[in-house]
């Protein structure tokens, strides 16, 4: 069987698996990681803060995950650090609903908007807003 025949066979097989809804299961069972997005800075910051994991330990954990899965699972550390320095921290809460513990985080919308405007003013200046809205 030539290389072209193998490619066609593989394409047909993937198409069949995709059409029958078992492509993800087959890929997972084969050890392939099929994830198309990374954890954003807000979620990563909240996770590390809630778990009380120091920066050095975060780096160890992320290095091992990256080595195991072959790619980063979160945004770069600099994005998380930017969020932490002088930023509006998310508020973490845990509630009980029907006997289940649900953990979540949020930001107060008015404080978040004011903080975002101040940040934009500090980094872009008022000219940014004038050009944008006129």
pLDDT digits (tens, 9 = 90+) for 4-44: 677 778 777 777 776 666 666 666 666 665 566 788 888 88
Q: Where are the domains of the chain?
A: 1-34, 37-133
Say what percent of the chain tops pLDDT 70.
76
C-alpha 75/C-alpha 40 separation (Å) is: 6
Q: Which two tokens stand for residue 78?
A: 């600099």
Query: Nearest to residue 32, comparing CAs of 71, 69, 74?
Result: 69
pLDDT digits (tens, 9 = 90+) for 105-132: 888 888 888 887 887 787 777 777 776 5
C-alpha 7/C-alpha 31 separation (Å) is: 21
Q: Which residues contact 76 (CB under 8 A, 6 or more apart)?
A: none
Contact 74, 38 (CB under 8 A): yes
pLDDT at 41: 84
State yes or no: pLDDT of 134 exceeds 60: no
pLDDT at 60: 92
Tell me, rounded to whole angstroms, the distance of Cα 75 from its chain centroid: 6
> Model pTM?
0.44
């Amino acid at each position: 069987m030539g290389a072209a025949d193998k490619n066609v066979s593989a394409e047909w097989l993937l198409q069949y698996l995709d059409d029958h809804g078992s492509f993800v299961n087959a890929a997972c069972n084969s050890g392939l990681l099929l994830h198309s997005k990374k954890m954003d800075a807000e979620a990563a910051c909240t996770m590390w803060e809630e778990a009380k994991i120091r920066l050095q330990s975060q780096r160890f954990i992320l290095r091992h995950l990256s080595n195991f899965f072959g790619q980063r699972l979160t945004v770069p550390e600099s994005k998380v650090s930017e969020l932490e320095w002088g930023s509006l921290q998310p508020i973490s809460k845990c509630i009980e609903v029907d006997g289940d513990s649900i953990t979540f985080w949020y930001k107060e919308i008015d404080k978040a908007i004011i903080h975002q405007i101040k940040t934009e003013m500090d980094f872009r200046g008022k000219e940014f807003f004038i050009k944008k809205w006129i």
